Structure 1
């Protein structure tokens, strides 16, 4: 049986508190130090839970002021699912990835919601740095129902999930729903992307669907602002 990581348990409890109105939109939550004491965990574990909520757009950090419940932002819908590998190749660059973590786990309540799966399901959660011509473009955390990829080797899934699903699993990819917003690079992400802490980051949260509208991926991607841009056709 796969255990739920401690930071995911804290993430779930904090999210329930926020959704339950314990802290209102725009209100500052307790400090990491205080929350770590409340949950009886290290500040590193607590910070990982907070960072996950920041990446999901539920919380937002304000430099020198703490962490606040995020307000609803203007959303821009972008249709279609595009593989990062194909996108970089189309630009005439060579795509590559570095896998930071790759493990099977129980889903968070956010992952359950976006992937429409029960809390008893298993998911593959992987973190990757994606490159174009060996220059880091983005840091990505992708969550996929484990049943979709359990029969395929890690090297293939981590290299290009979409190619595995289309060419090996025989699935047809459909559309996606994206939420795009701005944020500042955390110390860890800045290190992965070779930028300064606090650099401008373009955050994209995406749920990708198969042709039959079944969600197959929930991904949180942080792009280096000066190395990537989105174009929208209207």
Structure 2
């Protein structure tokens, strides 16, 4: 199964950045120029750009274009907690709405983050996560397909961590990066926000107890409904 066109474009732009075609802080060509260069619609090109923005590789400046992201100060977060467990700990009822659920070839970023072999497939799912039926975040989660191929869709989408733990697998630590951004039109619609509202973006790689990365998640939280608490 081949990668979707927008993932192929994502991979090419990421390769260009890594090969220094564009440097940190550079403004990349407009969506119109890139869509013409790749021979695709602006909608497809925009999807590729948004994926790179969600991964922190690119950043949008309102009214000024899209730029190669600058490095930011990072803070370690020490506790791995699933959305389900976190929500229940607050006395709320968690739920999810699955937007997409596909088995496909991974992007370059997914290969790097999950340390995959070239021939491995991944399960990529997009979900809106709720607490007491209020939308809290939009999440794109990628896991190696071999790890979850024996589980049904509900076991994976409702609480992946609990499913894995019920099979004797131990969840280890995670690597997390939190930054801020503005809600795109799509995210605003999903989370019942206004376009341009504040979003907290979390990028997380979660490891099993033996140190094997098994999950790469890009999550966008409604800034007025969620906050991170760090304790040292």
Write the deviation string for residues 79-134 of structure 1: whole angstroms up to 9, x where unpaired: 23211001000100000000000000000010000000022110000000000000
TM-score (norm 1): 0.98
Q: In the alignment, which residue of structure 1 is the partner of 2:139?
A: 140
After the TM superposition, list the runs of 4 or more consecutive aligned residues in structure 1 that deviate by more than 4 angstroms.
Answer: none
* Structural mapping, 1:156-195, within 5 Å: 156-167=155-166, 169-195=167-193
Q: In the alignment, which residue of structure 2 is the partner of 1:205?
A: 203
* Structural mapping, 1:108-123, within 5 Å: 108-123=107-122
Aligned residue pairs, count: 232
- The 3-state SS of whatever aligns with 2:215 is strand
Q: In the alignment, which residue of structure 2 is the partner of 1:83?
A: 82
- Which structure 1 segments of 5+ residues have no match? none
Q: Distance in 2 between matches of 1:144 and 1:7?
A: 19
**Is 1:33 the equivalent of 2:32?**
yes
- The 3-state SS of whatever aligns with 1:160 is helix
Q: Distance in 1 between matches of 2:61 and 2:23?
A: 16
- The 3-state SS of whatever aligns with 1:14 is helix
Q: Is the 8 A contact 1:108 1:119 kept in 2?
A: no
Q: Is the 8 A contact 1:129 1:192 kept in 2?
A: yes
Q: In the alignment, which residue of structure 2 is the partner of 1:17?
A: 16
| Structure 1 position 27, deviation (Å) | 1.0
Q: Distance in 1 between matches of 2:41 and 2:125?
A: 23
Q: Distance in 2 between matches of 1:166 and 1:41?
A: 43
Q: Is the 8 A contact 1:80 1:174 kept in 2?
A: no
Instruction: Tell me which moved more, 139-148 or 156-165.
Output: 156-165
